[in-house]
Amino acid sequence: MLILGVDPGLTRCGLGLVETGGPGRARLVSVEVARSAPHDAPDSRLDAIGAEVERLLDASLPAALAIERVFAQHNVRSVMGTAQVSGVVMREAARRGIPVATYTPSEIKAAVTGNGRAPKTQVAQMVTRILSLDAPPTPADAADALAIAICHAWRGATQASSAPATAAQRRWAEAERASRRR
Amino acid sequence: MLILGVDPGLTRCGLGLVETGGPGRARLVSVEVARSAPHDAPDSRLDAIGAEVERLLDASLPAALAIERVFAQHNVRSVMGTAQVSGVVMREAARRGIPVATYTPSEIKAAVTGNGRAPKTQVAQMVTRILSLDAPPTPADAADALAIAICHAWRGATQASSAPATAAQRRWAEAERASRRR
């Protein structure tokens, strides 16, 4: 199953495509960062990012899109731009009938490293290991996008249904619940 | 000049079209509220609102789109949905080459009522008077969308250039600066 992970941002928007074969198995397909110029008008910047996302969706036809959930942070101005980008991205997925899943930063970190408070470098290291890459993807937005795709690959099945269907899924869900309690 | 005012929202998105003939002159063309069902998935809701906005943009071809700037408020969850809608709306304007202007709530209130802290009922009353309507537009999102369009009609010219061109524009800009100091 092909999953597009999106780390939304107005200056840099990470776009990571991962092919998954179920829990524990994931392969890098492509990773890129859509950019817009900070001195451009906000609407033009949203259109630049949106056009890149549309191109990638149409070229790759992912089975699902996973995107980081945006929260209010210290930098309110930057978080609003991030939320606007996520709105554009989610809508383009919906237009194409591609299911959208959202994850919090700590859910993503926990899924990839086992620790919801892992530093960014550790997340990038685990992404590198999981996808058998030679070096951590750069910039950070690229690694984050891949982490989001991996998070969905490994969590999506258990999240989609409240009663996991197979014994393996049940074991996975139990292990995950246990890791969250830690 | 035809101006589309947008009061962004995920449950109700106000869309007010106003024809303007310069400061002090504005005529209602149409007003509507795009809606999405709260129980639907966020991406579907964004697509529902986005499709309505696209339809209206293509049918009316406004010369400008004015939209309320989104700030972090108490209800962080709702403000993120609002920011996402504003991203979708701004991008659809940019795709069509329609200039986008953003205004803060207090700028809108000040432009329409002369008071940046005016209550919503007073804004609706002034919109009713300015557009010579029989009754205040409902719901509130409709009145707010018209207020945003009127705000742009009356401020757009002075905002677009740092050195107002005509004596009337200079007087308007001075009066506005004075009202902001109050």
pLDDT digits (tens, 9 = 90+) for B28-67: 999 999 999 999 999 999 999 999 999 999 999 999 999 9
Looking at residue B21, its pLDDT comes to: 81
Q: Which residues of A are catalytic?
A: 7, 68, 141
Residues 6+ apart with CB under 8 A from A146: A5, A14, A16, A18, A28, A31, A127, A131, A137
Looking at residue A79, its pLDDT comes to: 87
pLDDT in tens for each of the 182 residues of chain A? 999 999 999 999 999 999 998 667 899 999 999 999 999 999 999 999 999 999 999 999 999 999 999 876 656 667 899 999 999 999 999 999 999 999 999 999 999 999 999 999 999 999 999 999 999 999 999 999 999 999 999 886 555 433 334 455 455 555 555 554 44
A100 contacts chain B (CB < 8 A): yes
Set of chain A residues whose Cβ sits within 8 Å of the Cβ of B8: none
B91 contacts chain A (CB < 8 A): yes
Set of chain A residues whose Cβ sits within 8 Å of the Cβ of B93: 43
For B46, which of A41, A79, A91 is closest by C-beta distance? A91
**Global model pTM greater than 0.95:** no
Q: For residues B169 and A57, what is the distance between their CA atoms, to the nearest angstrom?
A: 47
H or E segment at A64? strand A64-68
Q: Which two tokens stand for residue A109?
A: 């970190």
Q: What is the maximum alpha-carbon separation in chain A? A: 53
Q: Which residues of B are catalytic?
A: 7, 68, 141
- Taking CB atoms and an 8 Å limit, are B91 and A50 in contact across chains? yes
- Taking CB atoms and an 8 Å limit, are B42 and A88 in contact across chains? no
Complex ipTM: 0.84
Residues 6+ apart with CB under 8 A from A149: A3, A4, A5, A16, A17, A18, A26, A66
Looking at residue B154, its pLDDT comes to: 87
The angle, 0 to 180 degrees and rounded to 10, between the axes of the packed helices A42-60 and A76-95 is: 40
SS3 A164: coil
Set of chain B residues whose Cβ sits within 8 Å of the Cβ of A91: 43, 46-47, 50, 88
Q: What are phi and psi of A18, to 5 degrees?
A: -130, 135
- DSSP-assigned beta bridge partners for residue B67: B6, B102
Looking at residue B79, its pLDDT comes to: 87
Residues 6+ apart with CB under 8 A from B147: B5, B16, B108, B109, B111, B112, B123, B124, B126, B127
Nearest-neighbour CA in chain B from A67: distance (Å)? 11
Helices (runs of H) and strands (runs of E) counted in chain B: 6, 5
Helices (runs of H) and strands (runs of E) counted in chain A: 6, 5
Q: Which two tokens stand for residue A160?
A: 């989609």
Top pLDDT among B157 and A165 is at B157
Looking at residue B71, its pLDDT comes to: 75
Is residue B82 within 8 A of residue B102, CB to CB? The reply is no
Q: For residues A56 and A50, what is the distance between their CA atoms, to the nearest angstrom?
A: 10
Residues 6+ apart with CB under 8 A from A153: A1, A3, A18, A20, A22, A23, A26
- Alpha-carbon B50 to chain mean position: 16
Half-sphere exposure of A24 (CA within 13 A, CB side): 5
Instruction: Pick left, alpha or beta for residue A100 (phi over 0 → left; psi -120 to 50 → alpha; otherwise beta).
Output: beta
Interface of A with B in 27-66 (CB under 8 A): 41-44, 46-47, 50
Looking at residue A24, its pLDDT comes to: 72
pLDDT digits (tens, 9 = 90+) for B80-118: 999 999 999 999 999 999 999 999 999 999 999 999 999
- B1, pLDDT greater than 70: yes
- DSSP-assigned beta bridge partners for residue B32: B15
Of the pLDDT bands very low, low, confident and very high (cuts 50, 70, 90), residue B78 is confident
- B157, pLDDT greater than 70: no
- Taking CB atoms and an 8 Å limit, are B83 and A83 in contact across chains? yes
Set of chain B residues whose Cβ sits within 8 Å of the Cβ of A44: 94
Nearest-neighbour CA in chain B from A40: distance (Å)? 12
